[in-house]
Structure formats: C-alpha cells, structure tokens
Structure 1
Amino acid sequence: MKLTIQKFYRVNGGSTQFKGVTPDITVPDALSSYAKGEKEAEYPLQWDEIAPATYQPTNSLPALDKLKAASAARVAASPGFRLITEAAQRATERRKQTNLSLNLAAYRTVQQQARDANKLQTTAQNALPTLDIALPAPDATLAKTDSVVAKRTTRFLKPLRKDAALAEAVAVIGDELK
C-alpha cells in the first residue's frame, strides 16, 4: 500500500502535485514520449492551492524571451537534439506497435533498423562538445585519496560530460551572463 501523507506547496501557494513545476525553457529528451510524473500514477493527488506566503517576486530574468529564442535556435540546429527527438518518436511508435511479425526476416530487419538508429544516436552523442566538469576542491581531494570515491566520481561524471541537455543549460546561463 502506498500512502501520501504530506503535500508540498510552492511559495505562490500552488501545489506541485499533478502539474509539477513548469520549466521556463525546455529541451527535447529521450523520455519525453513516456507518460511520467505524479499525474500518471494511480489515484494522484489533485492540484490545489493554499494562501501564498508573503514574498517579493523578483524579475531576475528580464530577457527570458531572448533566452528562450536563443535556446530554441540552438536546439533546432543541433543534430544531437534532432536525433533525441527522433528516438523519442520511435519509442512512441514502438509502444503503439502491438503486433509483431512472426516472419524472421521481417523481425531481423526491424531489429537492424533499431540498432542502426542507436548507432546514430551514439555517434551524435559522441560528437557533442565535451563539457569541462570539475569537482569542488574538497571532493576532488577526496577522490585523489580514495579509489572507491574516484571510481564512483568517474562513473558519475562521464555521461554528464556529453549530456546535450546539460550543455544547453550551460549555454543558456552563458546567454544570461552576456
């Protein structure tokens, strides 16, 4: 049995249940075609709101429209994001496909197409610029002296260095700092 015993509310009084938190800038991801989030769970808590807290909203991103436009242009021009979008579309099509051919040649053709698409995705991922990610000094010191921490850190950082969404987030921050 699963029980929800608490609910989280944002400073503006709205809950995060059911709706989640809507990002200002979105980028495609491989899981975008999957139903995800609390609203997809059985018996989700409905969105509601309470009285907002007393707070002073800031307009810390006055150029949000420019940031969105620059991000959208980069994403549209990115072969990596194009392949991510195509992979998400293929995943959606595969889930809709409820019948599979019993013909071995047809099955092998479908499997080869999937392998070819995965190779393209891997090639595009490898072609992404490598992000220079460094650990904070105390963690870097620990990683130098502890082999277990070093292996775990390497395993954690390796995929981040070629993460298209993270690279785009860094680019958006760079745009904001200009």
Structure 2
Amino acid sequence: MSFSPLIQQLIKALRCLPGVGPKSAQRMALHLLEHDRPAALVLAGALQEAVDRVGECESCRTLSEEPICGICASRSRDATLLCVLESPVDMLAIEQTGGFGGYYFVLKGHLSPIDGVGPEDLGIDRLMERLERGEVKEVILATNPTVEGEATAHYIAEQVRELDIRVSRIAHGVPVGGELEFIDGGTLAHALAGRRSLV
C-alpha cells in the first residue's frame, strides 16, 4: 500500500529537516493529519510567516526580522571584539554562555571546494570591509573544529594578517568534567598543542 500523492508530498517535505529520515517523516505526517490538524495549521502558518519575514542582518548576517539584529543594534557591546562563526546556532550557543560581550559575523557555512563553496559564498568580502573600518582590534575565529572549519579559519587569518588586528582561535580540547581515558586522540592532540602556562 502506498499513500496518496498529497500525503507522500507532505512526507517528502518533512524529510528536508536535518535528522528526519523516511520513517520519522511518515510518523510526523500521519500524526499531524490523524491527531492534530489544528497544530498542523499553526505549524504551516508559522513556517509561512518565518519564510516571508525572517531575513539576514545587514551587519552580522545572522537570521533576523529586522534589517539590523538586536545584538548588532546594541551599543553596550565591545566594538573592538568580533567573533566569526559558521552559523546562527553557533552564535546562540556563545550568547547563552554570557561570556562574550563583543559583536559577531556569521559565515553561514565553511569553505568546501568539493561542494563549490568559496570565500564569496561566505561573505568574507563583507567581513574584510568591516575589519578595514578600523574599529575591530581582535577577531576571534570560532569556526567548528572540523577539517573545513580549520581551513576556513586559516583562510580568514591569512586575509586579516595584512591588517593591524589580533587574530585568535577558540580553544579546542578536553571538556570540563571530562576524563582523559575517554577523550579521542584528535581532541587530546588539540588540547596538548593549545596548552598554556600556569606560572
């Protein structure tokens, strides 16, 4: 037995979400249609409104309903610090720590020649324009500790080298509360390479 074309279309649409396979998409679609049609309408309306109204902050490139997001509009932040991230969710993670008071720049990805993603796709030209204004004194590269993330950080560091701006990289290593015997070799190697003096 196969589902009707509209149900199949809904299942296929749900599969675009990360981590949702065919069975999960089928379960979601059938639940909404069988048990919670009002929630399905709310979901459809929220999706439509978000797609119509959420755009990109003109300053940092994060998702925003306003031309300038709330963080970029704030005058209480440290304009000399700029943290470069791969995605808006990374920005949210750092904001939730409460430990960073500067501004952000969101790349919306990482360099990946295999996938055809180059510097122009990441807005690195806009990043450099912002840095050339002279207000930023330190760029913190907080791209993911993947091969692509490291390559992206290295590329940006090379571009910034010509400017009188300090470039730093977030530390990678052993998590707080972690035990060495359970840490993978790559993480331990990063932790050893990034060690700092205590005296």
Structure 1 or 2: more helix by fraction? 1
- The structure whose RCO (Cα within 8 Å, separation 6+) is larger is 1
One fold, TM greater than 0.5? no
Q: TM-score range by the shorter chain?
A: under 0.3
Structure 1 or 2: more strand by fraction? 2
* TM-score normalised by the chain length of structure 1: 0.24
* TM-score normalised by the chain length of structure 2: 0.23
